[in-house]
Structure 1
Amino acid sequence: MQTGALRPCVLFLALCFAAEFGHSFQPAPASSSISSSSSKTRWCSNVKRTRLDASENTETGEGETWGGASPFIKARTTNAQPPLGVSRTALRAVENNSGIKSSGVGLFGRFGNINLGAGSNKHHAKGSVGGQKGVDLKTKTKNREAALTAEDEHELSKQIQILCKLKAKKDNLAAKLSRAPTDDEWAAVIGCSKKALLRQIKKSQVAKGKLVAANAGIVRVIAKNYENSGVVLADLIQEGNLGLLEAADRFNPEKGFKFCTYAAWWVRQRIGRSIAVQSRVIRLPVYVHNLLGTMAKTTRTMTAELGRKPTDEEVAARMKVPVSKLRMYAASSKHVLSLELPVSHRKDDKRTLSDSLTWDGADPVDNLEVEALRSELVNVMDELDDKEKLVVRMRFGLDDGICKTRPELAEALNVSRERARLIETKAINKLRHPSTSFRLKVFLSSLMK
């Protein structure tokens, strides 16, 4: 590229940087040629000088801050481009010398936006710098402080055990009085003042809250392992929290175990019980649910051992359960789906599971009409004698759907064909009488549609 064509671009960028950094770039005379190396030197030195100025202002409190960052950082979160001719190596050198880390290969625009990293001492951005989420050190410190040592768990557990003993004495007193005791009666049984009792209860409750809050994370970790078990994650977490509270009341630090190890068992137990009760429309007993879980685990183990899916007899032999009982429990564990279950999570899609299913049978409305017609025919044919009823049934196939001919009627009745014809004609004339036929006209109009 010719120097004359490059010069206007460099002048424009120099003016942009001068307005942004607060420094003036003196363009070279029109007659002189621009050196790429001199442009690099001016730009790099200006970056260093600007950072030093911003650091001094920040230390003295005179510089403007933005989101917890210095003006130097604010100036570089724009989409400005470095001077043409500045290589990536030069950009990286400026980054290393200035102690600032970039999110891409460079500091500006298409090279990436500046982000405060571990090398940025002085200030830490609490908000968002360069479009990236910063680090909230206050939150991290709070999380570190929430972790309890073994001594802390021991002391908190002692306070919780005191609360459990106080509640046990209150329950015994309530059983004797057949009513809820007052605080004065409760304090009298314990042998202390009411004020001291309430103070101890509050202290124990605070200790229980600290122990539970410090270990609340294990509930979500365990609950996510059962996320696709038929119960929503929020309900699993709630059940796990109840198990965590139960563990806090029962924990004995004298046995040498950490609280999280002990609490994990209670959390799993409570979540498993919730799944057994709530995951199915047709509720199964808890022992049946546990047996089904054991059966699934045994099937997986034997599949890995045998290299194939085991038979019901093999699984029953391993579990020492009768095959008939195993098959009965497996058949009862089928999941039930609602026909109103949506087939898509899109808001504009209103289709349900029933829309995707097809019914090969007759329309229920038509079935009702046929049953009503058959019932009315039986009532109408009561006007005929036994031989006429038999002729009409056989002639029109009302019993088996097969219509008999007149010779077949004569043979079945052991009469002549003419006699069979006369019986048929007489029966039809009776049915055509207005006192009888009007009862069938309703069905005739519906059949003609």
Structure 2
Amino acid sequence: MNKPFRPPQRRRGTAFSSEFLDAPTEAGLARAWRDKGDEKARDRLVLAHRALAWSAAARITRGGRPDEDLIQQANLGLLKAADRFDPDMGFRFSTYATWWVRAEIQDYTYGDWSLIRLPGSSSLRRVFFGLRKAEAELQAEGVAPEDLDAAIGLRFGVDADKIALVRERLAGRDMSLNQPISSGDEGGADWQDMLADPDPEADAEVRVGAARAKARLAALMAEHLARLPARDRQILEGSVMEEDHRTLADLGEEFQISRERVRQLRERALGVLRKALAEDPAARDLLAEDGVAV
């Protein structure tokens, strides 16, 4: 029953002009959606609680305006809550929806934090979202710095090396190596210019071979991308492959579709591309040489 939902444009600032629903009205809207599939009732119920979704996204952002994609994930949580809400249980919708909104935001944050994905175990998720608080509490209790990882691991029931892995990921988000070191004049040095050559004495033939392999892989990637539907390819390139990634909102406005539909098309295109690369012996071998599994 999770049909597409397009919230209206938000006004400037963070304030919402949301309708206040009393308990009987809220229950009536929920029953109309549950029993009759009344989309207007669902939309009214969701729109009345969009400030709840926005504030949940703002808490994750911790200052500043939440990312539009994060707000959209929070809205998806409202939709899922509306699909599953039972007004006959005696709870208000806001109480029930808070858990779905939080779950959607946490899933998005956990999966989108880095291109290098952490394992999806529930224990690592608890560490990811609770590490900072646990560190502060244990330090206040007087735990020595050298014993901190072991103490946190004991609290969450995971090995100390996993604690170190999560801390490393939380230390910083992904950064493009093509990003300028300073925001000064154009044409300045990029971060990649500061990387030391791990083997400055490497054989020239090895370097040439690696460059050719990289060029060949890029050509194969372009061939498989060209086989995708034009819209899927443009969405995949714009949201994933371009240096300045475009948001789901920007792509949705360009193609006149919802952000959720853009996300679905992006995931579909990624799946098709992965399958094509896995079935292409040449591409599979080149990726294997780089230590990339498809």
- Normalised by the size of structure 2, how large is the TM-score? 0.53
Q: Which amino acid aligns with 2:29?
A: L
Q: Which amino acid aligns with 1:272?
A: Q
1:342–1:226: structure 2 CA closer, same or farther, 3 Å change rule?
farther
**Cα distance, 1:261 vs structure 2:** 2.1
Question: Which runs of no fewer than 5 residues in structure 2 stay unpaired?
Answer: 1-14, 208-294
Q: Of 46, 61, 79, which aligns to 1:227?
A: 61
Q: Distance in 2 between matches of 1:334 and 1:354?
A: 18
Q: Of 114, 120, 137, which aligns to 1:286?
A: 120
**Cα distance, 1:154 vs structure 2:** 0.9
Matches within 5 A, 1:172-187: none
Q: Distance in 2 between matches of 1:344 and 1:241?
A: 37
Q: Which amino acid aligns with 1:154?
A: A
**Cα distance, 1:284 vs structure 2:** 1.5
How many residues are paired up?
A: 188
Query: Percent same amino acid among aligned pairs?
Result: 28
Q: Distance in 1 between matches of 2:187 and 2:52?
A: 38
The aligned counterpart of 1:312 is: 149
1:255–1:343: structure 2 CA closer, same or farther, 3 Å change rule?
farther
Q: Which amino acid aligns with 2:142?
A: L
Q: Which amino acid aligns with 1:240?
A: A
- Give CA deviations for 1:89-123 in whole Å, capped at 9, x if unaligned: xxxxxxxxxxxxxxxxxxxxxxxxxxxxxxxxxxx
1:153–1:370: structure 2 CA closer, same or farther, 3 Å change rule?
closer
The aligned counterpart of 1:337 is: 175
SS for the counterpart of 1:143 is: coil
- Asked if structure 2 preserves the Cα contact closer than 8 Å seen for 1:295 and 1:319, the reply is no
- Asked if structure 1 preserves the Cα contact closer than 8 Å seen for 2:180 and 2:191, the reply is no
- Give CA deviations for 1:277-325 in whole Å, capped at 9, x if unaligned: 1111101123233333333332222122227645222222333333344
Q: Distance in 1 between matches of 2:59 and 2:72?
A: 15
Q: Distance in 1 between matches of 2:40 and 2:69?
A: 25
Q: Distance in 1 between matches of 2:164 and 2:143?
A: 22
1:242–1:371: structure 2 CA closer, same or farther, 3 Å change rule?
closer
Q: Distance in 2 between matches of 1:338 and 1:319?
A: 33
- Asked if structure 2 preserves the Cα contact closer than 8 Å seen for 1:273 and 1:286, the reply is no
Q: Of 238, 241, 248, which aligns to 2:72?
A: 238
The aligned counterpart of 2:24 is: 151
Q: Distance in 2 between matches of 1:371 and 1:256?
A: 70
Q: Distance in 2 between matches of 1:257 and 1:273?
A: 25
Q: Of 14, 31, 34, which aligns to 1:161?
A: 34
CA RMSD across the alignment: 3.6
1:354 aligns with 2:191: yes
- Normalised by the size of structure 1, how large is the TM-score? 0.36
SS for the counterpart of 2:176 is: coil
- Give CA deviations for 1:224-265 in whole Å, capped at 9, x if unaligned: 122269xx7111011111111011111122233221222121
Report which stretch shifted further, 299-308 or 208-217: 299-308
1:298–1:342: structure 2 CA closer, same or farther, 3 Å change rule?
same
Q: Distance in 2 between matches of 1:212 and 1:304?
A: 42
Question: Which runs of no fewer than 5 residues in structure 1 stay unpaired?
Answer: 1-139, 164-200, 373-449
- Asked if structure 1 preserves the Cα contact closer than 8 Å seen for 2:126 and 2:156, the reply is no
1:254 aligns with 2:128: no
The aligned counterpart of 1:209 is: 43
Q: Distance in 1 between matches of 2:29 and 2:113?
A: 36
SS for the counterpart of 2:154 is: helix
1:257–1:317: structure 2 CA closer, same or farther, 3 Å change rule?
same
Q: Which has the higher contact order (CA 8 A, sep 6+)?
A: 2
Q: Distance in 2 between matches of 1:151 and 1:349?
A: 61
1:322 aligns with 2:159: yes
Q: Of 110, 124, 133, which aligns to 1:297?
A: 133
- Give CA deviations for 1:351-406 in whole Å, capped at 9, x if unaligned: 464267253777x5x7445989xxxxxxxxxxxxxxxxxxxxxxxxxxxxxxxxxx
Matches within 5 A, 1:7-406: 143=17, 146-163=19-36, 201=37, 204-227=38-61, 233-287=67-121, 288-306=124-142, 309=145, 311-327=148-164, 330=167, 335=172, 336-343=174-181, 349=186, 351=188, 353-354=190-191, 357=194, 359=196, 367-369=202-204
